[in-house]
Protein backbone atom coordinates (compact mmCIF):
# COMPACT_ATOMS: atom_id res chain seq x y z
CA UNK A 1 0.00 0.00 0.00
CA UNK A 2 2.82 2.40 0.87
CA UNK A 3 4.32 2.16 -2.61
CA UNK A 4 0.96 2.97 -4.20
CA UNK A 5 0.83 6.16 -2.12
CA UNK A 6 4.48 7.20 -2.51
CA UNK A 7 4.39 7.10 -6.32
CA UNK A 8 6.97 4.37 -6.89
CA UNK A 9 4.42 1.79 -8.06
CA UNK A 10 2.89 4.38 -10.41
CA UNK A 11 6.37 4.86 -11.92
CA UNK A 12 6.72 1.09 -12.26
CA UNK A 13 3.38 0.80 -14.03
CA UNK A 14 4.29 3.68 -16.36
CA UNK A 15 7.62 2.07 -17.28
CA UNK A 16 5.91 -1.30 -17.78
CA UNK A 17 3.30 0.30 -20.05
CA UNK A 18 5.91 2.23 -22.05
CA UNK A 19 7.97 -0.95 -22.46
CA UNK A 20 4.83 -2.86 -23.46
CA UNK A 21 5.35 -5.43 -20.75
CA UNK A 22 2.70 -8.01 -19.94
CA UNK A 23 1.22 -7.33 -16.47
CA UNK A 24 0.24 -10.20 -14.19
CA UNK A 25 -0.71 -10.24 -10.51
CA UNK A 26 1.95 -11.71 -8.26
CA UNK A 27 2.06 -12.78 -4.63
CA UNK A 28 1.86 -10.33 -1.71
CA UNK A 29 0.60 -7.41 -3.78
CA UNK A 30 3.35 -7.58 -6.40
CA UNK A 31 2.68 -6.85 -10.05
CA UNK A 32 4.85 -8.84 -12.46
CA UNK A 33 5.67 -7.07 -15.73
CA UNK A 34 7.00 -9.81 -17.98
CA UNK A 35 8.67 -9.45 -21.35
CA UNK A 36 10.54 -6.22 -20.53
CA UNK A 37 12.86 -5.56 -23.51
CA UNK A 38 14.51 -2.18 -22.99
CA UNK A 39 18.30 -2.28 -22.85
CA UNK A 40 18.61 -0.70 -19.42
CA UNK A 41 19.00 -1.85 -16.80
CA UNK A 42 20.89 -4.98 -17.75
CA UNK A 43 19.40 -7.02 -14.91
CA UNK A 44 17.15 -9.99 -15.61
CA UNK A 45 14.64 -8.44 -13.19
CA UNK A 46 14.33 -5.15 -11.30
CA UNK A 47 11.75 -3.47 -9.13
CA UNK A 48 10.00 -0.10 -9.27
CA UNK A 49 7.68 0.17 -6.29
CA UNK A 50 5.60 -3.00 -6.23
CA UNK A 51 6.16 -3.67 -9.93
CA UNK A 52 8.75 -6.32 -10.75
CA UNK A 53 9.89 -5.92 -14.35
CA UNK A 54 11.55 -8.96 -15.90
CA UNK A 55 12.88 -9.91 -19.30
CA UNK A 56 11.34 -13.37 -19.13
CA UNK A 57 7.60 -14.10 -19.25
CA UNK A 58 5.88 -13.42 -15.92
CA UNK A 59 5.18 -17.15 -15.45
CA UNK A 60 8.92 -17.87 -15.55
CA UNK A 61 9.63 -15.36 -12.78
CA UNK A 62 6.74 -16.71 -10.72
CA UNK A 63 8.43 -20.13 -10.97
CA UNK A 64 11.64 -18.72 -9.40
CA UNK A 65 10.71 -18.09 -5.75
CA UNK A 66 14.26 -17.11 -4.71
CA UNK A 67 14.53 -14.30 -7.26
CA UNK A 68 10.93 -13.21 -6.68
CA UNK A 69 11.60 -13.06 -2.93
CA UNK A 70 14.70 -10.97 -3.59
CA UNK A 71 12.69 -8.49 -5.68
CA UNK A 72 9.91 -8.42 -3.07
CA UNK A 73 12.46 -7.28 -0.48
CA UNK A 74 13.30 -4.35 -2.77
CA UNK A 75 9.59 -3.39 -2.66
CA UNK A 76 9.87 -3.09 1.12
CA UNK A 77 13.03 -1.01 0.68
CA UNK A 78 11.11 1.40 -1.57
CA UNK A 79 8.51 1.79 1.20
CA UNK A 80 11.17 2.39 3.88
CA UNK A 81 12.82 5.04 1.66
CA UNK A 82 9.42 6.72 1.10
CA UNK A 83 9.33 5.74 -2.56
CA UNK A 84 11.31 7.52 -5.21
CA UNK A 85 14.23 8.54 -2.93
CA UNK A 86 15.13 4.84 -3.10
CA UNK A 87 16.44 5.29 -6.65
CA UNK A 88 19.27 7.78 -5.98
CA UNK A 89 20.12 5.97 -2.73
CA UNK A 90 20.31 2.67 -4.60
CA UNK A 91 22.54 4.11 -7.33
CA UNK A 92 24.86 5.66 -4.74
CA UNK A 93 25.11 2.28 -3.00
CA UNK A 94 25.75 0.55 -6.34
CA UNK A 95 28.50 3.03 -7.22
CA UNK A 96 30.13 2.62 -3.83
CA UNK A 97 29.95 -1.16 -4.23
CA UNK A 98 31.47 -0.97 -7.71
CA UNK A 99 34.38 1.10 -6.40
CA UNK A 100 34.99 -1.22 -3.46
CA UNK A 101 34.38 -4.65 -4.97
CA UNK A 102 34.27 -4.23 -8.75
CA UNK A 103 30.62 -5.33 -8.71
CA UNK A 104 27.58 -3.04 -8.27
CA UNK A 105 25.76 -5.54 -6.05
CA UNK A 106 28.25 -7.26 -3.77
CA UNK A 107 28.83 -4.29 -1.46
CA UNK A 108 25.46 -2.61 -2.10
CA UNK A 109 23.55 -2.46 1.19
CA UNK A 110 20.20 -2.78 -0.60
CA UNK A 111 21.28 -5.90 -2.49
CA UNK A 112 22.90 -7.40 0.59
CA UNK A 113 19.66 -6.99 2.56
CA UNK A 114 17.61 -8.41 -0.32
CA UNK A 115 19.89 -11.47 -0.56
CA UNK A 116 22.88 -11.42 -2.89
CA UNK A 117 22.79 -15.02 -4.08
CA UNK A 118 19.00 -14.93 -4.60
CA UNK A 119 19.48 -11.82 -6.75
CA UNK A 120 22.21 -13.44 -8.85
CA UNK A 121 25.11 -11.48 -7.33
CA UNK A 122 28.48 -12.97 -6.37
CA UNK A 123 28.64 -14.60 -2.96
CA UNK A 124 30.66 -12.28 -0.72
CA UNK A 125 32.17 -15.31 1.00
CA UNK A 126 33.93 -16.15 -2.27
CA UNK A 127 36.34 -13.24 -1.95
CA UNK A 128 37.89 -13.70 -5.39
CA UNK A 129 34.50 -13.79 -7.12
CA UNK A 130 33.38 -10.73 -5.16
CA UNK A 131 36.34 -8.71 -6.42
CA UNK A 132 38.10 -8.79 -3.05
CA UNK A 133 41.64 -10.04 -2.56
CA UNK A 134 41.94 -13.65 -1.46
CA UNK A 135 43.78 -14.39 1.77
CA UNK A 136 47.43 -15.38 1.25
CA UNK A 137 47.90 -19.02 0.25
CA UNK A 138 44.34 -19.49 -1.04
CA UNK A 139 44.75 -18.49 -4.68
CA UNK A 140 42.55 -20.51 -7.02
53 domain-assigned: yes
DSSP string, 10-68: HHHHHHHHHTT-EEEE-GGG-EEEE----SSS-SSEEEETTEEEESS-HHHHHT-HHHH
Region 78-83 average pLDDT:
97
pLDDT in tens, 83-95: 999 999 999 999 9
How many domains are there within the chain?
2
Residues 97 and 59 in one domain: no
Regarding whether 57 and 16 lie in a shared domain, the answer is yes
pLDDT tens by residue, 6-54: 999 999 999 999 999 999 999 999 999 999 999 999 889 999 999 999 9
Domain that holds residue 30: 2-65
The model's pTM: 0.85
Amino acid sequence: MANAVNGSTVLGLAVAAAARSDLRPGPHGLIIAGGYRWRVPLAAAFTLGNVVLCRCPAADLLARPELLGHEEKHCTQYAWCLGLPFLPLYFLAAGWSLLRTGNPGTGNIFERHAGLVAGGYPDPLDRGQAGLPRPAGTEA
